[in-house]
Chain A
Amino acid sequence: MSGADALTIAALVRGGAVSAVEVAEATLARIAARDPALNSFTAVAKARALADARAVDAALARGEDPGPLAGAPFAVKNLFDVEGLVTIAGSKIDRERSPATADATIVRRLAAAGAVLVGALNMDEYAYGFTTENTHYGPAHNPHDPARMAGGSSGGSGAAVAGGLVPLALGSDTNGSIRVPASLCGIFGLKPTYGRLSRAGARLFAASLDHVGPLARSVGDLAAAYDAMQGPDPLDPACAGRAVEPALPDIEQGAEGLRIAVAGGYFAGVDEAAAAVAKVAEALGVTRNIDIPEAARARAAAFVITASEGANLHFADLKARAGDFDPMTRDRFLAGALIPANWVIEAQRFRRWYQEQLLALFNDTDILLMPATPCSAPLIGQDMVEIDGALVPTRPYLGGYTQPLSFIGLPIVAAPLRSAGGLPIGVQIVAAPWRESAALRVARALERDGVTCAEIAPWS
Chain B
Amino acid sequence: MTGVKYIIPKNKGEKLADRPFDAAPYVDAAAALIGLPLDPTHRPGVILNIERIAEMAGLVMAFPLPEETEPAPVFRP
Report A's interface with B, CB cutoff 8 A. 193-195, 208, 238, 240, 266-270, 294-297, 299-301, 303-304, 307, 315, 318-319, 322-323, 330-332, 334-339, 342-343, 345-353, 355, 374, 387-390, 392-393, 396-397, 400-401, 408-410, 433-434
Residues of chain A with a CB closer than 8 A to B31's CB = 337-338
CA of A268 to CA of B3, assembled, Å? 12
Contact partner of B53 (CB less than 8 A), chosen from A294, A304, A387, is: A304
Residues of chain B with a CB closer than 8 A to A307's CB = 49, 53
B16 vs chain A, min Cβ distance (A): 9
Q: Is the CB of B35 within 8 A of A346?
A: no
CA of A240 to CA of B49, assembled, Å? 34
A356: nearest chain-B partner, CB-CB:
B69
Q: Is the CB of A339 within 8 A of B53?
A: yes
Contact partner of B77 (CB less than 8 A), chosen from A194, A299, A348, A349, is: A194
A439 vs chain B, min Cβ distance (A): 14
Residues of chain A with a CB closer than 8 A to B2's CB = 268, 270, 387-388, 390
A403 vs chain B, min Cβ distance (A): 10
The number of inter-chain residue pairs (CB within 8 angstroms) is: 155
A238: nearest chain-B partner, CB-CB:
B75
B63 vs chain A, min Cβ distance (A): 6
CA of A389 to CA of B73, assembled, Å? 39
Residues of chain B with a CB closer than 8 A to A345's CB = 71
CA of A351 to CA of B47, assembled, Å? 26
Q: Is the CB of A346 within 8 A of B60?
A: yes
Q: Is the CB of A334 within 8 A of B42?
A: yes
Report B's interface with A, CB cutoff 8 A. 1-6, 8, 26-27, 30-31, 34-39, 42, 45-50, 52-53, 56-57, 59-61, 63, 65-66, 69-73, 75-77
Q: Is the CB of A349 within 8 A of B36?
A: no
A116 vs chain B, min Cβ distance (A): 32
With A323-B39, A400-B6 in contact, do A349 and B71 touch (Cβ < 8 Å)? yes
With A331-B42, A332-B49 in contact, do A350 and B57 touch (Cβ < 8 Å)? no
B4 vs chain A, min Cβ distance (A): 5
Q: Is the CB of A346 within 8 A of B65?
A: yes
Q: Is the CB of A343 within 8 A of B72?
A: no
B2 vs chain A, min Cβ distance (A): 5
With A270-B2, A304-B53, A319-B36 in contact, do A195 and B77 touch (Cβ < 8 Å)? yes
Residues of chain B with a CB closer than 8 A to A331's CB = 42, 45-46, 48-49
With A319-B36, A348-B73 in contact, do A296 and B59 touch (Cβ < 8 Å)? yes
Residues of chain A with a CB closer than 8 A to B37's CB = 319, 322
CA of A270 to CA of B4, assembled, Å? 13
CA of A388 to CA of B4, assembled, Å? 10
A272 vs chain B, min Cβ distance (A): 13
A-B contact pairs, 20 of them (CB 8 A): A194-B77, A208-B72, A238-B75, A266-B5, A270-B2, A301-B60, A303-B53, A330-B42, A331-B48, A335-B45, A335-B47, A335-B50, A335-B52, A338-B27, A338-B30, A348-B72, A349-B70, A353-B65, A388-B2, A400-B1
Contact partner of A355 (CB less than 8 A), chosen from B6, B66, B72, is: B72
CA of A322 to CA of B4, assembled, Å? 31
Q: Is the CB of B45 within 8 A of A350?
A: no
Residues of chain B with a CB closer than 8 A to A322's CB = 37-39, 42
A33 vs chain B, min Cβ distance (A): 39
Q: Is the CB of B57 within 8 A of A339?
A: yes
With A195-B77, A300-B56, A400-B6 in contact, do A352 and B36 touch (Cβ < 8 Å)? no
Residues of chain B with a CB closer than 8 A to A392's CB = 3-4, 6
Residues of chain B with a CB closer than 8 A to A397's CB = 6
Residues of chain B with a CB closer than 8 A to A348's CB = 71-73
CA of A421 to CA of B55, assembled, Å? 35
Q: Is the CB of B57 within 8 A of A300?
A: yes
B1: nearest chain-A partner, CB-CB:
A400
Residues of chain A with a CB closer than 8 A to B56's CB = 299-301, 303-304
CA of A389 to CA of B2, assembled, Å? 9
Q: Is the CB of A351 within 8 A of B75?
A: yes
CA of A459 to CA of B66, assembled, Å? 55
CA of A195 to CA of B77, assembled, Å? 8
CA of A339 to CA of B5, assembled, Å? 22
Residues of chain B with a CB closer than 8 A to A269's CB = 1
16 extra interchain contacts, Cβ-Cβ under 8 A, other than A334-B42, A335-B50?
Answer: A193-B77, A297-B63, A304-B56, A322-B42, A331-B48, A332-B49, A334-B38, A334-B45, A335-B53, A343-B57, A343-B61, A349-B72, A351-B71, A351-B72, A355-B72, A409-B75
Residues of chain B with a CB closer than 8 A to A338's CB = 26-27, 30-31, 34, 36, 46, 50
Q: Is the CB of B75 within 8 A of A330?
A: no
Residues of chain A with a CB closer than 8 A to B5's CB = 266, 296
With A331-B48, A335-B50 in contact, do A390 and B6 touch (Cβ < 8 Å)? no
Q: Is the CB of B71 within 8 A of A318?
A: no
With A304-B57, A349-B65, A387-B3 in contact, do A194 and B75 touch (Cβ < 8 Å)? yes
